[in-house]
Structure 1
Amino acid sequence: MKRILALAIILAFSIGGFSQEHKQFISLFNGKDLTGWTMPGEVPGFEVIDGIMVAEPSNGSDIFTKEEFANYIFRFEYLLSEVGNSGVLIRCNHENPWETGVEVQLLAPWTPYRDDLHCTGSLYGHVAVTNRPDETTGIWHQMEIRCDRNLITVSVDGQVTTKANIDTVGSMKNKHITGAIGFQSNHSKKGESARFRNISIRNLDLEPEYVKAGFFEEDARYRKPAHAAALKIGAPMIEPLAQLLSAKSPVAQSGAKQVLFDLVAESTAPDSSGAKKDAVAKSLEKSLRNCSEASASQFLEWLLKMTKSEN
């Protein structure tokens, strides 16, 4: 009986953890139309058929999210026809995707040029796979792409195929670290296709603790998205930032002070809502009660007074 109870508890925690992670993913494709996506080319390269995003017209326009992302976990399922040729473009400007971003390859095993640097799961032409994925055509596979500041990890069917530290890859030195996500249109012959479904994303830059860690990055390229994300999160970010006021890192301290000031300035602007101002004030009050470091307390008190003053 005790063993059964223990197993039940473990299962409950496992299901709870899975459920929590699942809730953090949002769908990027509604299965009905291409809302939230854009095709900048003259010839559409994608359409929706029976709830599936299909790239069939040969060399039509690639498709991109209208929203841009920096740090995230991107998941989708794909099916390639016998000689299907597509790809996923990450952190790119859709007007110049290959110059600004990187392609994660999706390629059927039909060409003699499909080496480890250009096969499914590779960062095409930049980083080869270290674990070749199953490339069987005509069946659904799942791909996960994790962009975590300077680290990019690609998995296929639950197995990691590629890991890359972009700071160590010379050809990726000037690539963007924020941008749209796109799918490449059918780059094979007419009649071939690539199909996509269950397209979702977990935006790490909406999670305060993840964003907080970005303030410690030595490279300003990775701090900048963290600062922007903190401003977007708003009041829920104040307590994590207040904790950084006592951090040993001068870079983290300086960034936290600036963003805290900016959050208070936004909340007290003439066009700001009273609810936003109240939320910021309450978060500052709570942070102040939990603060034991003198200089940090003084800074928080000063910010709090700003929220109490009349506009």
Structure 2
Amino acid sequence: MKVKRLLILVAFWGFTLLGFAQKNDGFTSLFNGKDLSGWIMPGKVPGFEVADSVLFASPHNGSELFTKEKYGNFVFKFEYLLSEVGNSGVLIRCEPENPWNSGVEIQLLAPWTPYRDDLHCTGSIYGHVAVTNRPDETTGIWHTMEIKCDRENVTISVDGKVTTVANTDTVKSMQGKHVAGSIGFQSNHSKEGEFVKFRNVFVKNMDSDPDYVSKGFYHENAGFRSQAHDAAEVIGVPMIGRLSEMMSGENVMAQAGAKQVLFDIVAKVASDGTKRERNALAKALGKEQKSSRSKAVKSYFEWLLKMAKSAK
């Protein structure tokens, strides 16, 4: 009997830990089910409200809803429910003040009109890239969408099935679009009385991973290199070891980018960081200065270390 109880307890904890791991696999919730904390609605007419623990968009052509934080490379997943002729969308890598010119829209649309072809239906990059696998567009039920932006590669899935794959470098109409920006939900762009609902809104920010960000320094596209530099500066001290490796490497672009970002990190922490952050910075710089085999890199880190220690 005791053995049986023990097995049940082990199974329970195993199930609990598995569930915890699945809910904490790098994703962060963007909607608390209570209010619009972390979001902004820049327009004069509010387009969204929180009702019954979901995001609810009903007013015709109200303000879109945008994350305050900006994302470049990410996995964004959520559930949505469209009314009978619901019309909405997801805006990615955009500026809230000018979302469609700066970014692109992933369409969310009820199948109410024959004019909405594969270039304008749910799952398409609206007007830019058509779906290759049209998703279930049934209205009045919850669907799941996942949008993955991995530098030039954008992949869209609905209900676990890939609908659209795009390489932004090969889509002429997407040339010049931002490589980082806010994520937004479009308000109700159908007639009065129609609506869209959202819930379980999560994001995995790939630009919080130093290894992922490091690869961006070698990208052929200058825009993605610049975005990687910005992400590395946000990460700060944990990037120093990888930046040191780049400076000791043979890729000239990566060397130059690493050198500049190292300076920017040191300058930022030295002027605005806490004592604890400055100590961590000095420790990381000292470690790389001692371990590097390159005289030029050693010299640069020695100079950075002096700059860091001179901060009050």
TM, length-normalised to structure 1: 0.89
- Equivalent in 219, 223, 226 of residue 225 of structure 2: 223
Unpaired segments ≥5 residues, structure 1: 1-11
Q: Deviations over 1:80-104 (max 9, x none)?
A: 1121111001111112211111010
What RMSD over aligned residues (CA atoms) do the two structures have, in Å?
A: 2.1
Aligned equivalents of 1:302, 1:52: Cα separation in 2? 53
- Equivalent in 167, 173, 176 of residue 174 of structure 1: 176
Unpaired segments ≥5 residues, structure 2: 1-13
- Which letter maps to 1:275? R
1:81-92 → structure 2 map (5 Å cutoff):
81-92=83-94
Which moved further from structure 2: 16-25 or 147-156?
A: 16-25
1:112-151 → structure 2 map (5 Å cutoff):
112-151=114-153
- Equivalent in 57, 80, 83 of residue 82 of structure 2: 80
Name the counterpart of 1:283: 284
SS of the equivalent of 1:154 reads strand
How many correspondences in the alignment? 298
TM-fit CA distance, 1:254: 0.8
Which moved further from structure 2: 301-310 or 204-213?
A: 301-310
Name the counterpart of 1:4: none
Aligned equivalents of 1:70, 1:241: Cα separation in 2? 20
Moved over 6 A (4+): 15-18
Q: Judging changes above 3 Å, is the alpha-carbon distance between structure 1 residues 264 and 17 closer, same or farther for their aligned structure 2 residues? A: farther
Aligned equivalents of 1:94, 1:309: Cα separation in 2? 40
Q: Deviations over 1:121-177 (max 9, x none)?
A: 000000001111111211111111111222211111121111111111111112112
How high is the sequence identity, in percent, across the aligned residues? 61
TM-fit CA distance, 1:120: 0.6
- Equivalent in 221, 229, 250 of residue 248 of structure 1: 250
Aligned equivalents of 2:206, 2:117: Cα separation in 1? 32
Name the counterpart of 1:159: 161
Aligned equivalents of 1:96, 1:234: Cα separation in 2? 30
TM-fit CA distance, 1:211: 1.0
TM-fit CA distance, 1:52: 0.2
Q: Judging changes above 3 Å, is the alpha-carbon distance between structure 1 residues 306 and 94 closer, same or farther for their aligned structure 2 residues? A: closer
SS of the equivalent of 2:116 reads coil
SS of the equivalent of 1:124 reads coil
